[in-house]
Amino acid sequence: MAEGTAYGALKHFRNIFLSIPHANRIRKHISDVTANSSAKRLNMFLRWMVRSDENDVDFGLWKNIPASALMLPLDIHSGEVARNLGLLERKQNDWKAVEEITSVLRSFDPTDPVKYDFALFGIGVFEGKK
């Protein structure tokens, strides 16, 4: 696992969250990156809280986490678009794919690799719809 990314924080969050007494069914609602989950919702939440942009899509409230540490909130749409563009080779939408695509996006902009999320997602959702 690459140092300086959200992986360790997501792993720690899950461990702390589940350390308090809880119903067993709760476990399935908190993504487990150690089990290769893409953790889309958690990565999306981090994107909203960490990034700030001129269009106010992201809130940018958490100032002590660098945008460079964020990972792409990978879903079926952004994964397919990334594969069609040759940015992602992995077939599954799992944590390994998140690392692969984020690494490619980091080569475009190492300070803010997930700024491309909305474009990848939008192309996948709206492709072919006019």
pTM beyond 0.85, yes or no: yes
Question: How many other CB atoms sit within 10 Å of the CB of residue 102?
Answer: 23
Cα four-point dihedral sign 30, 55, 129, 72: negative
When pLDDT is cut at 50, 70 and 90, the band that residue 5 belongs to is confident
What CA–CA distance (Å, rounded) separates 16 from 118? Answer: 30
What CA–CA distance (Å, rounded) separates 73 from 4? Answer: 17
pLDDT of 129 above 50: no
What integer pLDDT is reported at residue 26 of this predicted model?
A: 94
What CA–CA distance (Å, rounded) separates 82 from 115? Answer: 14
* Rg for the chain, CA atoms, rounded: 15
pLDDT of 105 above 90: yes
What CA–CA distance (Å, rounded) separates 100 from 107? Answer: 11
What integer pLDDT is reported at residue 93 of this predicted model?
A: 97
pLDDT of 2 above 90: no
- Look up residue 33 and give its amino acid: V
Mean pLDDT value of segment 19-40: 96
Mean pLDDT value of segment 60-83: 94
Domain ranges of the chain: 7-126
pLDDT of 108 above 80: yes
